[in-house]
Amino acid sequence: MTLTAKQRFEDSLAGLGQLAFLARDTFASLFKLRIVWSDVLFQLYSIGVKSQAVVLITGAFTGMVLGAQTYFQFHKVHMDTATLAVVSDAMCDELGPVLTALMVAGRVGAAIAAEIGTMRVTEQIDALRTLATHPVDYLVVPRVAAGFFAMPILVMEAICVGIGACYFVNVNLLGIDPAYLYYNMLHFTHDVDLFMGLTKAFFYGGIITLISCYKGMNCGLGAQGVGRATTEAVVYSSITVLIVNFFLTLILGKIVGLL
């Protein structure tokens, strides 16, 4: 049966409402500290430690390619020593948080949606309710809390590795003077740049885990439903990160400008 445009729009609004209710219940549990810390630690390992490889590789090669491309342009106007400063600022403000969030959405978001979706299909979530265990407290809250904690750390690692990789390429492969390169990076990169990146990372961690949990808990029946929920979790998380990044950039830019 093919849905009309009106029905698809109504379903989208209903989905946003359900996501808002899930967010309300999740944050209410977080504020009331209805948290099982052992579950949070396990999710920190699953979300944070297991994501380090892909995040570090992404950060390193992003820093290297951005450093090379910036050098090729700056070399035309004899501004070679400003290359690392540009890369450092870009990694702290935008590329570090956004690319890390996209990588985590692809790895962690899919895993969360598939895990919770399988529990829904096999009626394990209904079994939790019969045992007087709230599914949000048991399944969603530990993952969202771990996402809030893990994402800033992953972003910090990506930023440091990206800047270090850019420095290596600039000095050892492109022959830029290391002293001026390092000095310009320190001169033009400020604390507020890192503050903006880590603040964005905090929001992205909650967005990815919350959307992935929602898709898993509301997936369709059967293997097809789990697969579709997994795909939608990655796609919707990635798109939301990109949209929210725009508004966070404007808001944080205004706040930093007022300081």
**Res 159: pLDDT:** 95
pLDDT score recorded for residue 259: 59
23's CB contacts (< 8 A; 6+ apart) are 210
pLDDT block averages, 10 residues each, the chain of length 259: 70 83 88 83 92 93 93 88 92 92 93 90 84 84 93 95 94 89 89 91 94 89 85 93 94 78
Would you list the DSSP string of 106-161?
IIIIHHHHHHHHHHHHTTHHHHHHHTT--HIIIIIHHHHHHHHHHHHHHHHHHHHH
| pTM listed for this prediction | 0.90
Question: What ranges do the domains of the chain cover?
Answer: 35-258
Q: Which of 209, 1, 195 is nearest to 105 (CA)?
A: 209
| pLDDT for the residue numbered 106 | 92
